[in-house]
Chain A
Amino acid sequence: MECVVQGIIETQHVEALEILLQGLCGVHRERLRIHELCLKSGPNLGLVSSEVRLLCDLEQPEPTWTVRQVGGAMRGAGAEQISVLVRNTVESKISKNALRLFYALGYQLDHEQLRVGFAFHFYRGAQITVTVSSINKMLKLHAIDDAVPVTPGIQLVEVTAPASSENYNEVVAAVSSFCEYLAPLLHLSKPGVSTGVVPTAAAAAASLMSDGGGATL
Chain B
Amino acid sequence: MPIKWVLHWQPNAGASVNTQILTEVSQCVEGINGVKEGRWKSTISFYKPIVRDATNTSLEFARDFLGISLQEHPGKYYFVLRAQRMIVEAESSIQTIMEKLQSYKTRVALNFEGVQYQVGDFQLRVGKVITVQHDSLRGIVMEMEYLPISSWEKSHKIMGEFFDIWQEALSKRSLPGHFVHIEPNFREYGLSDEYSPQHTAAQYTGIMAQLIATAHSAQAAQAAHAVRQ
- CB within 8 Å of B: which residues of A? 41-48, 50, 52, 67, 69, 71, 88, 90-95, 97-98, 100-101, 104-107
- With A45-B103, A105-B61 as known contacts, state yes or no: A67 contacts B86, CB within 8 Å: no
The answer to whether B53 and A104 have CB atoms under 8 Å apart is: no
Complexed CA–CA distance, A127 and B81 (Å)? 37
| Chain B proximity of A53: nearest CB distance (Å) | 10
B94 contacts chain A at the CB level, 8 A cutoff: yes
Minimum C-beta distance from B193 to chain A (A): 19
Within the complex, what minimum Cβ distance (angstroms) separates A113 from chain B? Answer: 21
Contacts of B53 in A (CB 8 A): 44
Which of A41, A42, A97 sits near B86, CB closer than 8 Å?
A97
The answer to whether A93 and B100 touch (CB under 8 A), given A100-B86, A106-B49, is no
Inter-subunit contact B101/A69 (CB<8 Å): yes
Kindly provide the distance from the CB of B188 to the nearest chain A CB, expressed in whole angstroms: 14
On whether the beta carbons of A94 and B94 are closer than 8 Å, the reply is yes
A-B interface pairs (CB < 8 A), number: 91
Give the interface of B toward A (CB within 8 A).
Answer: 49-53, 56, 58, 60-62, 65, 77, 79, 81, 84, 86, 88-94, 96-97, 100-104
Question: B60 touching A106 by the CB < 8 A rule?
Answer: yes
Whether A46 touches B103, Cβ cut-off 8 Å, given contacts A52-B97, A104-B84, A105-B61, is yes
A148 CB to closest chain B CB, in angstroms?
31
A101 lies within 8 A of B103 (CB) = no
Among residues of B, the one whose C-beta sits closest to the C-beta of A95 is B89
In the assembled complex, how far is the CB of residue B162 from the closest CB belonging to chain A, in whole angstroms? 31
Given A46-B102, A47-B102, A94-B91, A106 and B61 contact (CB-CB distance below 8 Å): yes
Min C-beta distance of A37 to chain B, whole Å: 15
- Known interface pairs A45-B52, A52-B97. Does A93 touch B86 (Cβ–Cβ under 8 Å)? no
Contact of A101 among B56, B58, B88 (CB under 8 A): B88
Please name 6 pairs of A and B residues whose Cβ atoms are closer than 8 Å in the assembled complex, sorted by A.
A50-B101, A69-B100, A91-B93, A104-B84, A105-B103, A106-B103
**Could you say which residues of chain B place their CB within 8 Å of the CB of A69?**
97, 100-101
Which residues of chain B come closer than 8 Å to A107, judged between CB atoms?
103
Q: Is the CB of A93 within 8 A of B91?
A: yes
Partner pick for A104 among B50, B56, B61, B101, CB 8 A cutoff? B61
Q: Which residue of A is nearest B90, CB measured?
A: A94
Q: Nearest 8 A-B pairs (CB), nearest first?
A: A106-B61, A46-B103, A92-B94, A94-B90, A92-B91, A50-B101, A95-B89, A92-B93
Could you list 20 further interchain pairs (A-B, Cβ under 8 angstroms) beyond the known A47-B52, A93-B90? A41-B101, A43-B52, A45-B50, A46-B50, A46-B102, A46-B103, A47-B102, A50-B103, A71-B100, A92-B77, A94-B89, A94-B91, A95-B89, A100-B84, A101-B79, A104-B61, A104-B81, A106-B49, A106-B62, A106-B103
